[in-house]
Amino acid sequence: MELILRYMKKYSARIAQSMGIKLLGAVTELMIPYILEHLIDEVVPLGQLGQAVLWGGLMILTALATRQLNIAANRIAVDNAHNVSYDIRQDLFTRTANLSGAQFDRFGLPSLISRMTSDSYNVQSCVQSLQTMCIRMPILLLGGIGVTMAMDPVLSGILCVIVPVLIVVILAVSRYGIPLYRKVQEKLDDVVRIMREDITGIRVVKALSKTEYEKGRFGAANDAMTRADIKASVIMAIPGPLMQMCLNIGLTLVVWIGAARVNNGQIKPGVILAFLTYFNMVMQGVMGINRIFMMISKASASANRIGQVLAAPIDQKVLPPEEAKKPAGDEFIRFEHVTFSYHDGAEGSVEESRREQCLYDISFALKKGESLGIIGPTGCGKTTIINLLMRFYDVEKGGVFVDGRDVRSYEKDELRRKFGVVFQNDMVFYNTLRENIRFGRALNDADLMRAVEDAVAAEYVDSLEEGLDYQADIKGGNLSGGQKQRLLISRALAGHPEILVLDDSSSALDYKTDAALRKAIFERYQDSTTIMIAQRVSSIQNMTHILVLESGRCIGYGTHQELLESCPAYREIYQAQMGALA
């Protein structure tokens, strides 16, 4: 709850306004039964129509005032709740976008999505309830008890016995409910993960006729979440039937004891009618407090999950020059004896997670304008080199240097502005081709078209009636694989980067288009230092340097011709591919 209250503080004036109006509404609501009692017991026996109309009109006006005050308070409360949840989502998105690769892996994408959506919605609902129910319900409870004690202490004794018991039950159940709702949200993470996997890979699922299998997998996760939700809801619903039973017993006792007291002349009939209404109000207040604790329990669990992300430490700090390592040479890009491990585990300390060694003692150097091709089997660490170069992760041993500086000494934006990148399975956004290429940068149409031509994409762009204004679907669903890759390469080239990284970005291109692309890069981007990860030897054989990886180790480094002579693994790949082509 500390996180929720911290975000509510910004809107304290508006929240106070909402709660003040709600307070007035609750007070006027308490006046209605009292006016009714006065009307029945004092005004009606006088037989004066004018007085009856006056007090009846006052009761109607009080009811209307209560309605309007509640509507006004609810509108302000809704607005405040939306503002608080908006701020939380903005901060959560910003912090998520700045998580390091290791932190992102520990939280997991499905968990981050559910924290951004369902958890933030739970907090929003709680903030709204705190402004409305947390004022109205206690006022109805305490005010109702106070008024009834003034009317008849004997009948109010019934409330004084029932209410404390119910409140103790509510507090005990709510304390048990918070961990249960936290488990519900964790099970929701699993549902989101499987749903995201299946929607993303729906073509594979259908192609392999695994729809029923995935339906069963999703059903198992959905069942687990449902069971956890039912358990939490059942536990938190325990006070409900108990309160209903107490309400019925209390009303029966009020009528029975009240009727006896009327017959004895100790109270008037109007007191019973007013008391029944107040009794309902008091029990409504108790049940409202139960709902408040349910909402707080759910929101507390969600707020704790959101707080874990917001409180995640910045584990990739910018090193001052005196603490940063110095490169052994003056090359533009240097890897010096780099060793790195991914840590595969849930949220928690690195020591508790399984260490997956990925790179061992990797060293290479590139001068400005040179090029490096990286080749090797799947899982050998090719993409990891790019992750370390762009500082998505930090090395365990050794050093990574760009332009004579340790990458850890750069501000992240300063470092990454040097790059133009196409990753494996890169993202095409739901926008025009123009905006997908521009991507928020100050680039004119001439820059965009030059990049399109260099990426060998001009022909298919020109074939579209809308040209660069053609609307791409989510993830480029209306583009072919080759069209998406050329669009992404256009995005990388458009800013004329200092470092151009192409991570298996030509796998969907035919050999002719791939050759034309490489020719354009070599001729028009000679001042860019290029790193290309590829599965085809033909894509990298003209690179200045070629790095051959196997199981995270460098088993070959040199030019194409040098590796044919010195690296059996590279020679085997070349012969297999070129022989297939022959």
Work out the pLDDT band at 365, boundaries 50, 70, 90: very high
- Name the CATH topology of 2-307: ABC transporter transmembrane region fold (1.20.1560)
Q: Give the model's pLDDT for residue 336.
A: 93
Q: pLDDT confidence of 177, banded at 50, 70, 90? A: low
In sequence order, the 6+-apart residues with CB closer than 8 A to the CB of 437 are 443, 448, 451, 452, 468, 487, 490, 491, 494
Write the pLDDT tens digit of every residue in 300-354.
Answer: 888 888 988 888 888 788 888 888 888 888 889 999 999 998 864 444 333 333 4
- 177 against 72, higher pLDDT: 72
* pLDDT tier, 56 (very low <50, low <70, confident <90, very high otherwise): confident
For 207-228, what is each residue's pLDDT tens digit?
A: 767 788 888 888 888 888 888 8
Query: H helices within 152-263, ranges in order?
Result: 153-200, 202-207, 211-236, 239-263
The residues near 11 (Cβ < 8 Å, ≥ 6 apart) are 80, 83, 84
Two structure tokens written together for 229: 């939700």
Same fold, 2-307 and 421-496: no
Tell me the CATH class for 324-418+499-504+528-582: alpha beta
Rounded distance between C-alpha atoms, residue 34 and residue 151, angstroms: 9
Give whichever of 149-153, 235-239, 363-367, 503-507 has the largest mean pLDDT. 363-367
Look up tokens 């669009």; give the residue.
487
What is the rounded average pLDDT of the residues 433-444? 86
- Range of weakest confidence among 13-17, 66-70, 72-76, 169-173: 169-173
pLDDT higher than 70, residue 580: no
> CA–CA separation, 236 vs 180, rounded Å?
10
Say what the pLDDT of residue 353 is: 39
Q: Of 353-367, 376-390, 464-478, 562-576, which range is least confident? A: 353-367
**What pLDDT, on the 0 to 100 scale, is given for residue 375?**
92
- CA–CA distance, 27 with 147 (Å, rounded to integer): 11
Q: Cβ(124)–Cβ(81) under 8 Å?
A: yes
C-alpha 401/C-alpha 334 separation (Å) is: 5
Token digits of residue 553: 């180790």
Distance CA 153, CA 262 (A): 14
Q: What is the pLDDT of residue 318?
A: 85
Distance CA 311, CA 300 (A): 16
CA distance 389 to 400: 6
Quick one: pLDDT at residue 121? Answer: 86
Q: Is the model's pLDDT at 202 over the cut of 80?
A: no
Q: 317 CB contacts (<8 Å, ≥6 apart)?
A: 408
Q: With 70 as the cut, is the pLDDT of residue 144 above it? A: yes
The predicted-structure confidence for 250-287, as pLDDT tens digits, reads as follows 778 877 887 888 788 777 777 888 878 887 788 778 77
Residue 380: band (very low, low, confident or very high) from pLDDT cuts 50, 70, 90: confident
Can you give the pLDDT at residue 354? Answer: 42
CA 131 to chain centre: 25
Q: What is the pLDDT of residue 263?
A: 81
User: What was the pLDDT predicted at 350?
Assistant: 35
CA dist 6 to 32, 76, 84, 298, Å?
Answer: 37, 19, 10, 18
Averaged over 50-62, what is the pLDDT?
87
Of the ranges 46-50, 266-270, 537-541, which is most confident?
A: 537-541
Tokens standing for residue 231: 């358990």
Q: For domain 421-496, give the fold.
A: Rossmann fold (3.40.50)
- 388-427 pLDDT per residue, tens: 999 988 898 999 999 989 999 998 889 988 999 988 777 8
Q: Where are the domains of the chain?
A: 2-307, 324-418+499-504+528-582, 421-496
Which residues, 6 or more positions from 235, have their beta carbon under 8 angstroms from its beta carbon?
173, 176, 177, 180
Q: 70-79, 92-101, 201-210: which range is least confident on average? A: 201-210
pTM of the model: 0.72
Which residues in 433-469 are b (16+ Cβ under 10 Å) and which e? bbbbbbeeeebeeebbbbbbbbbbbbebbeeeeeebe
When pLDDT is cut at 50, 70 and 90, the band that residue 69 belongs to is very high
